Copies of this chain bind each other. A is one copy, B any other.
Amino acid sequence: MSDAVLRRRRDPQGRRQEIVAAAAELIVEVGVSALTHRMIAARAGVPLGATTQYFTTLDELRTAALGHLASEVDVRMGSIRSAFLTRGTSPEVITELILQGLADARALEADRAVVTAAVNDPQLRELARRWSAELAGFLTADYGQERAKAASIFIDGVLWHARIHDEQLDGSLIASALAGILGAPERPSPVSH
């Protein structure tokens, strides 16, 4: 009991999470390749040994952290899906969701960090592809496969644009472009009217 006070409360699962979260933060800030055990330990506020206790290699930890970021994106993806389900997939709704995404700097950075890393990481590429397909999938029912895919490509462009440019993209520009890409719904969206 007296020993339990000296040490941090035993909570392996929680500690693991802290480490992963710290690593994820750092990936967003300095990039995947700059990660080090020491850096992560410092950020997480855990001793150096803890980082190797929970993850055999740095690579394993890196993977976990990237997975963590990916899951953040997944969460957002889920909320987009439910927004589409309740509010339809009109260009205006999509635009609003995009603007919301752009406003959440943290989420944007997480997303771009993962996608950037994906360029040189097969596993992440798969992930990025899945998201891309998922987004397109949401729109396919209403606009057909081709247009849905084109829209998802455009959205990807918007996200990259935000990462490189400082200016805020105009909502009407996005909405018009989406409208142009998507054209009229192939069959009436169940919710949009």
Is A176 located at the chain interface by the 8 A CB criterion? yes
**Per-residue interface assignment for chain A, residues 1 to 36, with 1 indicating a CB less than 8 Å from any chain B CB and 0 otherwise:** 000000000000000000000000000011111100
What residues of B have a CB within 8 angstroms of the CB of A118 in the complex?
164
**Per-residue interface assignment for chain A, residues 161 to 180, with 1 indicating a CB less than 8 Å from any chain B CB and 0 otherwise:** 10111000110111011011
In whole Å, how far is A143's beta carbon from the nearest beta carbon of chain B? 11
Is A157 located at the chain interface by the 8 A CB criterion? yes
Which listed residue (B31, B132, B157) contacts A165, Cβ 8 A?
A: B132
Q: Give the number of copies in the complex.
A: 4
A173 touches B149 (CB 8 A): yes
In whole Å, how far is A46's beta carbon from the nearest beta carbon of chain B? 20
The answer for the CA separation of A130 and B111 in the assembled complex, in Å, is: 23
A160 touches B30 (CB 8 A): no
With an 8 Å Cβ cutoff, the count of chain A residues facing the other chain is: 43
The answer for the CA separation of A38 and B46 in the assembled complex, in Å, is: 23
The residues in A between 134 and 189 inclusive whose CB is less than 8 angstroms from any CB of B are 146-147, 149-150, 153-158, 160-161, 163-165, 169-170, 172-174, 176-177, 179-183
Is A128 located at the chain interface by the 8 A CB criterion? yes
The answer for the CA separation of A172 and B185 in the assembled complex, in Å, is: 19
B160 touches A129 (CB 8 A): no
Q: Which residues of A contact B (CB under 8 A)?
A: 29-34, 112, 115-116, 118-120, 125, 128-129, 132, 146-147, 149-150, 153-158, 160-161, 163-165, 169-170, 172-174, 176-177, 179-183
- Given A149-B173, A180-B182, 20 more pairs with CB closer than 8 A: A32-B33, A33-B34, A34-B120, A116-B119, A125-B164, A132-B161, A146-B170, A146-B172, A147-B176, A147-B177, A150-B173, A150-B177, A150-B180, A153-B154, A153-B158, A153-B160, A153-B161, A154-B157, A154-B177, A157-B157
